[in-house]
């Protein structure tokens, strides 16, 4: 046997003892032969990649056909080895798997032109789910070795991973792969946020580990007394999930991280409920935090009991209680089916998902791709559907329907049937009449009232509150077919209104040529289609106006207005001359000079001067965004140079980016005042992803002092980046 395969075979023997090792070795030999002259970006022989992908899959316990396809997955695309030859050597099943993965390799995630290929992935998944499992393992190994790619490629791949691949792994219940993909992509896309969370985790780890050990010992002792065999262990914390919880629950890091997580593994379902009773007998449960996913499994076959109790020292403790088989499925998802084939809804011998299995989501996706003509819309729906969790509601006859979190009776109506959605006029939830925009909760029973009128149809307002991709698509389709004329008028009016608001010349901008050129740029066939898109809410009227203005060279004379948003830095009795500003103009020492506020230049920066009308010379940094516009009037540019005196004071603008928490702003301002800087202005915005961006403008006599200021601010807890901003746009 080839010694290179020994680690792989050791894993295969442990997870899939009946696998055909000779077949796997033959697949390796063929792949190694055809990839023999190829190298990866890292300089390693190319065969190391298929081997690593096969090893990841072996750890999941997949079957020998999947392992062979993993070893051969790049041969058809990257070598002279053809698909027909591969089918002849290894049979149709392995040939189909390799073909499916090869097609997936061509899938690009991004704009509408590329989004069409996402359909291939959906179709390939529906035919044989193993295609996607191989692709996920392939992406995982690529993410582990991503550092050898250029930066723009790393960012693009990481974004795809967070938006598409990690949520797909979650949908398939493959949590081990999902967590690692998320952490790798998070570290690549937001290295500073990742490092800050890692730093905060490591600082608190020792204290937290002691508390965790105490809880584990108490739980273990109680279960032993109750004669329940159990494995009790701490749950690993993944940096990206910590960050996501901070965003979702809108709380600070400490409140998330101090929440201790425990996992209890028992032998049977009966023991799960017995263990729950034992734990609730010791500690009081937190109301509303108990979830029974054993009786009501999640969409991805996940089963477990979740409860939160008030543990020692009054601190909350999260517990997950499940059987060993449930745990294996929670970690490996669909891939675990090969290990537990006797379970209901497992894939058949070919790995295809049987009708009636838990993969209903996949069938729903197939329906979508048939219904949705616009690939961009399909990709948007897929992204949204992957990113949300679900609620389960009942029809009056007791049928369970899964909907996205925050779904409304309208979403429910469209889930039942398109016509029910279109004709929906009211709803009763748990026997009570409710508004159509009400949010549904787990376990609600929903009854829909429909209109008998032949003219009945959805309301445009529904688009503001529906949550499911299906409902949104169906409503848009209805309007695009039935209400195109109305949409065109509404769009035309909205664009005109946006122009009048800004006092723009309507006649000039609404001319046929300018609008037609813009429609073509935005990939609309004609101006009517552009108006309709605005009317239906696909594109904002304001965005169209901005693009129109840009296309005709911007609003006249705006350049100088933008450039001159500047204030004199320091006048103090010196209305003329450049000494107070620390700048002199070549050939004329007695000119009033002011440092432009748009880019706040300080000694050491390369600068240019611009003669303004009645306001002396404004000084900009050479790399200021406004200088490009000023260069169109070269006769007004003058040479300037630094000549700071003891009483010169300079404006400096800095930007602080931090993970949001209470008292963050007061900590930053206190640190700045400790550094003896005089703050002139401050602004703070907090984004939806829990990042607080603060901008401070302050006076400073010696620009060399700036390095110490930045260092002091960087050491504040939660701050992951601080830098000087070089212009109005940062």
CA distance 390 to 495: 38
Output the CA torsion 575→577→578→581 (10° steps): -20
CA distance 532 to 539: 9
Q: Determine if residue 33 is left, alpha or beta; phi over 0 gives left, psi from -120 to 50 gives alpha, anything else beta.
A: alpha
Question: Is the CB of residue 85 less than 8 Å from the CB of residue 91?
Answer: no
Question: Is the CB of residue 299 less than 8 Å from the CB of residue 359?
Answer: no
| Complete DSSP assignment for 413-429 | HHHH-HHHHHTEEEEEE
CA distance 284 to 263: 18
Alpha helices, H only, 536-576: 541-551, 558-563
Nearest 5°: the CA angle 472, 476, 481 is: 155
Question: Is the CB of residue 668 less than 8 Å from the CB of residue 674?
Answer: no
Q: How far is CA 153 from CA 142, 150, 190, 209, 598, in A?
A: 12, 6, 15, 38, 33
Read off the DSSP letter of residue 456. Answer: -
160 is known as an active-site residue: no
Question: Is the CB of residue 637 less than 8 Å from the CB of residue 631?
Answer: yes
Q: For residue 699, give both structure tokens.
A: 């006076």
Question: Is the CB of residue 653 less than 8 Å from the CB of residue 723?
Answer: no
Of 29, 65, 74, 78, catalytic? 78
Count of residues for the chain?
730
Nearest 5°: the CA angle 545, 551, 553 is: 110
Question: Is the CB of residue 399 less than 8 Å from the CB of residue 417?
Answer: no
User: Hey, how many other C-beta atoms are within 10 angstroms of the C-beta on 645?
Assistant: 9
209 is known as an active-site residue: no
Instruction: State the burial class of residue 481 (Cβ atoms within 10 Å of its Cβ: 0-12, 13-18, 19+).
Output: exposed
Q: Determine if residue 333 is left, alpha or beta; phi over 0 gives left, psi from -120 to 50 gives alpha, anything else beta.
A: left
Q: Determine if residue 470 is left, alpha or beta; phi over 0 gives left, psi from -120 to 50 gives alpha, anything else beta.
A: alpha
CA distance 86 to 71: 12
Alpha helices, H only, 631-663: none
Q: For residue 433, give both structure tokens.
A: 């009449």
Segments of 311-399 assigned E as strands: 316-323, 390-394
Of 37, 63, 64, 77, catalytic? 77
What is the set of active-site residues?
77-78
């Amino acid at each position: 046997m080839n010694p290179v395969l020994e680690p792989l075979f050791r894993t295969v023997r442990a997870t899939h003892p009946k696998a055909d090792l000779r077949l796997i070795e033959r697949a390796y030999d063929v792949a190694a032969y055809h990839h023999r002259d190829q190298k990866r970006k890292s300089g390693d022989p190319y065969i190391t990649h298929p081997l690593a992908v096969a090893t990841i899959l072996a750890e999941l316990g997949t079957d020998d056909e999947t392992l062979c396809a993993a070893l051969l997955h790049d041969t058809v695309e990257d070598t002279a080895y053809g698909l027909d030859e591969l089918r002849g050597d290894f049979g149709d099943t392995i040939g189909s798997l390799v073909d499916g993965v090869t097609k997936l390799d061509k899938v690009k995630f991004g704009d509408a032109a590329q989004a069409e290929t996402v359909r291939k992935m959906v179709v390939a998944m529906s035919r044989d789910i193993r295609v996607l499992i191989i692709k996920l393992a392939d992406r995982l190994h690529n993410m582990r070795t991503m550092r050898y790619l250029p930066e723009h490629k790393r960012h693009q791949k990481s974004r795809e991973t967070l938006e598409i691949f990690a949520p797909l792994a979650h949908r398939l219940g493959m949590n081990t792969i999902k967590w690692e993909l998320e952490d790798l992509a998070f570290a690549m896309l937001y290295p500073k946020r990742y490092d800050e969370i890692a730093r905060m985790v490591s600082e608190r780890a020792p204290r937290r580990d002691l508390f965790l050990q105490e809880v584990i010992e108490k739980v273990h002792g109680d279960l032993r007394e109750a004669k329940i065999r159990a494995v009790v262990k701490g749950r690993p914390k993944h940096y990206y999930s910590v960050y996501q919880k901070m965003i979702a629950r809108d709380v600070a890091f400490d409140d998330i991280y101090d929440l201790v997580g425990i996992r209890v593994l028992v032998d049977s379902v009966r023991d799960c409920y017995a263990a729950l009773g034992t734990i609730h007998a010791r500690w009081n449960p937190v109301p509303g935090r108990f979830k029974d996913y054993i009786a009501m499994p999640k969409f991805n076959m996940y089963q477990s009991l979740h409860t939160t109790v008030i543990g020692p020292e009054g601190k909350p403790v999260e517990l997950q209680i499940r059987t060993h088989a449930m745990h294996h499925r929670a970690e490996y998802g669909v891939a675990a089916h090969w290990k537990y084939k006797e379970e209901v809804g497992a894939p058949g011998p070919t790995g295809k998902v049987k009708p009636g299995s838990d993969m209903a989501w996949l069938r729903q996706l197939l329906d979508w791709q048939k219904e949705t003509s616009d690939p961009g819309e399909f990709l948007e729906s897929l992204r949204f559907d992957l990113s949300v969790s679900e609620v389960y509601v009942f029809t009056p006859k007791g049928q369970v329907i899964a909907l996205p979190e925050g779904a409304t009776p309208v979403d429910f109506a469209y889930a039942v049937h398109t016509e029910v959605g279109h004709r929906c006029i009211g709803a009763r939830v748990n026997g009570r009449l409710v508004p159509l925009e009400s949010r549904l909760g787990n376990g609600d029973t929903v009854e829909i009232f429909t209109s008998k009128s032949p003219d009945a149809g959805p309301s445009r307002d529904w688009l503001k509150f529906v949550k499911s991709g299906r409902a949104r698509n169906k409503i848009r389709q209805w309007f695009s077919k039935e209400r195109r004329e109305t949409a065109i008028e509404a769009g035309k009016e909205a664009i005109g209104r946006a122009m009048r608001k800004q006092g723009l010349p309507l006649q000039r901008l609404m001319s046929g040529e300018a609008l037609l050129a813009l429609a073509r740029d935005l990939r609309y066939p004609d101006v009517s289609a552009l108006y309709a898109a605005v009317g239906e809410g696909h594109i904002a009227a304001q965005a169209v106006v901005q693009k129109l203005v840009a296309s005709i060279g911007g609003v006249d004379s705006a350049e100088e207005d933008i450039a001159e948003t500047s204030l004199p830095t320091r006048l103090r009795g010196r209305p003329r001359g450049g000494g107070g500003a620390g700048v002199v103009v070549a050939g004329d020492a007695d000119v009033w000079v002011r440092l432009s506020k748009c880019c706040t230049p300080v000694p050491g920066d390369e600068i240019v001067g611009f003669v303004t009308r009645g306001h002396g010379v404004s000084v900009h940094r050479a790399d200021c965004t406004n200088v490009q516009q000023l260069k169109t009037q070269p006769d007004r540019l003058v040479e300037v140079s630094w000549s700071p005196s003891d009483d010169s004071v300079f404006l400096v603008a800095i930007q602080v980016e931090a993970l949001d928490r209470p008292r963050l702003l007061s900590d930053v301002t206190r640190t700045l005042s400790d550094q003896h800087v005089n703050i002139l202005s401050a602004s703070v915005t907090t984004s939806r992803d829990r990042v607080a961006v603060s901008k401070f403008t302050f006076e400073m006599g010696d620009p060399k002092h700036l390095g110490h200021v930045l260092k002091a601010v960087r050491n504040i807890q939660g701050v992951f980046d601080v830098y000087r901003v070089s212009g109005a746009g940062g």
